[in-house]
Chain A
Amino acid sequence: MDIGTISLVLLLGLFFLLAIGMPLGLASAILAVLVLVMKFEPALLSNPLSFGCPDWYTEANPGARCTLTGRPGAGALNILQQKIYGLLTDYVLISVPLFIFMASLLEKSGIAKDMYASLNVWLSRTRGGIAIVTSIMAVIMAAMSGIIGGEVVLLGLIALPQMLKLGYNQNLAIGTICASGSLGTMIPPSIVLIMYGLITETSIKALFTAAFLPGFMLASFFIIYIIVRTQLRPEDAPLPDPAPGEPEGSEKSILFATFLTILVAGFSSVLFLRVLFFTVTGQNADLGDTVEPIVWGTPDYVIWFAAWTGIALLLLFFAFGVARAKLAWSMGKGLVPPIVVIGVVLGSIYGGITGITEAAGMGAVAVLIIATLRGEASFELIWDSLMRTMKSTGTIIWVTIGAAALAGAYTIAGGPRFVADMIVGSEMPTMFVLLSMMFILLIMGAFMDWVGIVLLIIPVFLPIVMRLPIEEIGVFGQLEPRHLATWFGVLFCMNMQVSFLSPPFGPAAFYLKSVAPPHISLTDIFKGFLPFIGIQLVALAVLLMWPSIVTVLL
């Protein structure tokens, strides 16, 4: 059968199987079998009894060769098993369960709640303070884990009651929580980007770095929107009554500076001890140009970090005073665990200490240690987190397994090439191709989980993008060909942001609904999303017009 027919049947088959509610991964798996049958032994479809070429069949059809079923235990069908095996032994894939484990430990411990309290202390007298706090907290949580469902639920439990109690505009409150809570996929470490990198063989570290700036851009757009809106319409965000004994005005700024100084003192002394350890054990000896020097670990840093620690300590003892330092610490200490976790995870990745996979494992253990120090670690916490990890891993990985089998079969049949030829050959304008892809991604995002999109649609889309004339991509700035796949990954992630919120099926709304007070209906929730979807579209446009934004940090 020719590849055009196969592709058409595959597309229709996929729609049919998904419509009847077949599990996504297994639907792709059986379609992989179908593609192989159509490619190598179409006779099997018209006459299933010819399976394995029995004698009567070869007698009736001399010359019939059952390329697929004629050789049990071998042949083209074996590609299914090989693809699955290849996927299961991919080292990077191990980071998926570990990141999920870390995220569920984080959600189930009280770290998030304390962080909220600590952030709130500093911004409680600011107009729109809680909304801003929610956004900042979402960004911090996004930098700790890469899963959206839990984040929206957690913010909905912590921040929504507070905002409603204070009389915040309901739409503002809802939109802030869901839009910021979805940032988990944009800000590294993000499981969406890990899967994208895995399936397209793009460097995951590069994807993380590239997504940083657009992610922060989106987050700051949200915060700017909140500030502008609450300044224009103060009734949307009433200020709380000042708590008795609360420090006011400039005193609070001084306290905040004190707290920052404590942080600087803490981290520089840790880094000082680290580099001292390297120097004493001689691990950072100059090995010439062949070995990368340890980041912040060469002997000259000993003095630097010692100086930083010294200055910070001097400031604390003589400029700010011990009493104030104690107060500042008690106000801000909820922020320390998240910063430590972020330091461990992102520090391991970017400090060149470990790969993504080990960083995920270290993050999980760091959260566990913090939970133990806080007296929250219990057998039940670990048990529940392990169970959640296993469930989420099972669902994500099995879609991946099915998709890997399908991708293998479709590639053998020459599918991706065929599709790319067709699109590129039709000579449509580049922008039109990109926009229609994004439109399809948005539509699919409403129906399908991101895992399915990454695994089923990206392998078809990316080859097309790779063959588009690169000079026509974007309006300002020129993207280098080697960054194309990375850029498309970030663009895809931004698309997913929009689809998380899009009515009528945006998952964020359902997550929030499950924890919101009963009087808030789904329609109310989606209404609250509208301005934030507008902001996301602006960010998407920036990414599309100025693609080199992803390469700023690369």
Chain B
Amino acid sequence: MQETKINHKEWYVPIAFILCFGWLAWHFPFFTLDFLTPEDPSLFEQLSAQMMRNDITPNLPGLFGGYTDIVDWTALIAMPILFIIGVLTVERARMETEIWRPLDRVAVFIGRVTMVLISALTTVMIYEVFLRYVVEAPTLWANELSLWIAGFVFLCSGLYAMQQRSHIRIFILYDILPRGLQKLCDSISTLLIVVFAFFLFYGGYGEAFTKFYRWETFGTAFDPPIPATLKPAILILVAMVAIQAVINLVSDWNLEPVKHSAADDIDQDEIEALKRSVGSN
């Protein structure tokens, strides 16, 4: 197995992507105000008042005669570009599955973003503990920010786990089936995952869209738009998981059957790393 060198550069694109995404997650309603101006005056009033409070750069003039300023536009344009760069440049690291198709890159890049988010989550939490108990000046935002980040971590790590084939499955019967039947089983489960994603979307898009459009917030002092961002994210990520399931089905179609056991959770690369750290060879 080829030892993949881990490069610091792997962090830059995900971090830049998170910055753009974070900016948009805070400022997106300006675009709503500009381009999908609510008909209902009270909603318009409420949204614009809320955004005036939240504007990080209140002194920048809006572009094109609207509310959106230069930073908003930069973030909006940079985010997809960074995403594409990230997807194109991401490399397989050790401990990762060797099944690696061009389409898998999307999930792996999102995995890299999630790794950065986990470090951000830990940092925010420690910062808050430090401020609360040492300086005695607790923040209003840290708890809710960690809640917000964690929501995305939970969703995205599932997509990554799907690509890595590490979701919990029970192989006792599956392993003794002939390969042809295994393919049938895989097809059934993939079909059912797609059906679930469809029903979830069918039942949930109304609420998700409304919350996003009205930019519903958490209703606290810091007031992050958790419902507005997380509810659509659930639908999108579940849809992506369903797509990934289809990609997996196609990728794994011609694989040789393997025997599974509980030890599959532990990767050979990982055991090698552990052996090095305890110095047993």
In the assembly, what is the distance between CA of A154 and CA of B6, in Å? 24
Kindly state whether residue A326 has any CB partner on chain B within 8 Å.
no
Across-interface contacts of A362 in B (CB, < 8 A): 125-126, 129
- Chain B residue nearest to A37 in the complex (CB): B199
Q: Report the minimum CB–CB distance from A120 to chain B (whole Å).
A: 13
Q: Which of B23-31, B43-51, B263-271 binds A?
A: B263-271
Across-interface contacts of B271 in A (CB, < 8 A): 153, 157, 514-515
Size range of the chain B interface in the assembly:
35 or more
Kindly state whether residue A507 has any CB partner on chain B within 8 Å.
yes
Q: Is the CB of B157 within 8 A of A361?
A: no
Across-interface contacts of B226 in A (CB, < 8 A): 89
In the assembly, what is the distance between CA of A66 and CA of B241, in Å? 28
Contact with A along B199-214 (1 / 0, CB 8 A): 1101111111100000
Q: Which of B96, B146, B161 has the most CB atoms of chain A within a 10 A radius of its CB?
A: B161
Q: Report the minimum CB–CB distance from B280 to chain A (whole Å).
A: 6
In the assembly, what is the distance between CA of A72 and CA of B133, in Å? 49
Kindly state whether residue A75 has any CB partner on chain B within 8 Å.
yes
Kindly state whether residue B160 has any CB partner on chain A within 8 Å.
yes
In the assembly, what is the distance between CA of A29 and CA of B189, in Å? 12
Of residues 440 through 488 on chain A, the ones whose CB sits less than 8 Å from some CB of chain B are 447-449, 451-452
Q: Is the CB of A21 within 8 A of B234?
A: no
Kindly state whether residue B77 has any CB partner on chain A within 8 Å.
no
Q: Is the CB of B207 within 8 A of A81?
A: yes
Kindly state whether residue A80 has any CB partner on chain B within 8 Å.
yes
Q: Is the CB of B171 within 8 A of A21?
A: yes
Query: Considering only CB atoms and an 8 Å cut-off, how many residues of chain A contact the other chain?
Result: 91
In the assembly, what is the distance between CA of A519 and CA of B169, in Å? 29
In the assembly, what is the distance between CA of A76 and CA of B202, in Å? 11
**Contact A21 B169, CB 8 Å, known A91-B143, A157-B280, A511-B266:** yes
Across-interface contacts of B280 in A (CB, < 8 A): 157-158, 161
Of residues 149 through 178 on chain B, the ones whose CB sits less than 8 Å from some CB of chain A are 150-151, 153-155, 157-162, 164, 166-174
Q: Report the minimum CB–CB distance from A215 to chain B (whole Å).
A: 22
Contact with A along B168-198 (1 / 0, CB 8 A): 1111111000000010011011001101100
Q: Is the CB of A97 within 8 A of B167?
A: no
Across-interface contacts of A259 in B (CB, < 8 A): none
Contact with B along A76-111 (1 / 0, CB 8 A): 111111101100110101100110010000011110
Of residues 343 through 389 on chain A, the ones whose CB sits less than 8 Å from some CB of chain B are 353-354, 357-358, 361-362, 364-365, 376, 379-380, 382-384, 386-389
Q: Report the minimum CB–CB distance from B240 to chain A (whole Å).
A: 13
Q: Is the CB of A394 within 8 A of B161?
A: yes
Across-interface contacts of B158 in A (CB, < 8 A): 25, 394, 397-398, 401
In the assembly, what is the distance between CA of A150 and CA of B204, in Å? 39
Across-interface contacts of A33 in B (CB, < 8 A): 195-196, 199-200
Q: Is the CB of A81 within 8 A of B277?
A: no
Kindly state whether residue B227 has any CB partner on chain A within 8 Å.
yes
Contact with A along B121-138 (1 / 0, CB 8 A): 110011011000100100
Kindly state whether residue B19 has any CB partner on chain A within 8 Å.
no
Kindly state whether residue B95 has any CB partner on chain A within 8 Å.
yes
Q: Which of A12-20, A218-226, A490-498 binds B?
A: A12-20
Across-interface contacts of A301 in B (CB, < 8 A): none
Q: Report the minimum CB–CB distance from A515 to chain B (whole Å).
A: 6
Kindly state whether residue A73 has any CB partner on chain B within 8 Å.
yes
Of residues 228 through 270 on chain B, the ones whose CB sits less than 8 Å from some CB of chain A are 230-231, 234-235, 241, 245, 261-263, 265-266, 270
Q: Is the CB of A388 within 8 A of B126?
A: no
Q: Is the CB of B95 within 8 A of A74?
A: no
In the assembly, what is the distance between CA of A79 and CA of B204, in Å? 8
In the assembly, what is the distance between CA of A158 and CA of B200, in Å? 48
Across-interface contacts of B186 in A (CB, < 8 A): 21
**Contact A388 B195, CB 8 Å, known A80-B200, A81-B208:** no
- Chain A residue nearest to B268 in the complex (CB): A514
Kindly state whether residue B147 has any CB partner on chain A within 8 Å.
yes
**30 pairs of residues in contact across A and B, judged by CB atoms under 8 Å:** A18-B170, A21-B173, A21-B189, A22-B189, A24-B169, A26-B192, A27-B192, A73-B205, A78-B204, A78-B206, A81-B200, A81-B203, A81-B204, A85-B227, A91-B147, A97-B153, A149-B262, A149-B266, A153-B271, A157-B271, A157-B280, A283-B136, A358-B125, A379-B6, A379-B8, A390-B161, A394-B157, A394-B158, A394-B167, A513-B261
Give 9 closest A-B pairs by Cβ, nearest first.
A77-B203, A73-B206, A394-B161, A81-B204, A394-B157, A21-B174, A22-B189, A507-B262, A361-B125
Known: A77-B199, A80-B199, A447-B170. 11 other contacts (CB 8 A): A19-B172, A25-B158, A33-B199, A73-B204, A74-B207, A79-B203, A80-B200, A81-B200, A113-B277, A387-B95, A394-B157
A residues contacting B by CB (< 8 A) are 17-27, 29-30, 33, 69, 72-82, 84-85, 88-89, 91, 93-94, 97-98, 101, 107-110, 112-113, 149-150, 153-154, 157-158, 161, 281, 283, 353-354, 357-358, 361-362, 364-365, 376, 379-380, 382-384, 386-391, 393-395, 397-399, 401, 447-449, 451-452, 505, 507, 509-511, 513-515
B residues contacting A by CB (< 8 A) are 6, 8, 93-96, 111, 114-115, 118-119, 121-122, 125-126, 128-129, 133, 136, 143, 146-147, 150-151, 153-155, 157-162, 164, 166-174, 182, 185-186, 188-189, 192-193, 195-196, 199-200, 202-209, 226-227, 230-231, 234-235, 241, 245, 261-263, 265-266, 270-271, 273-275, 277-280
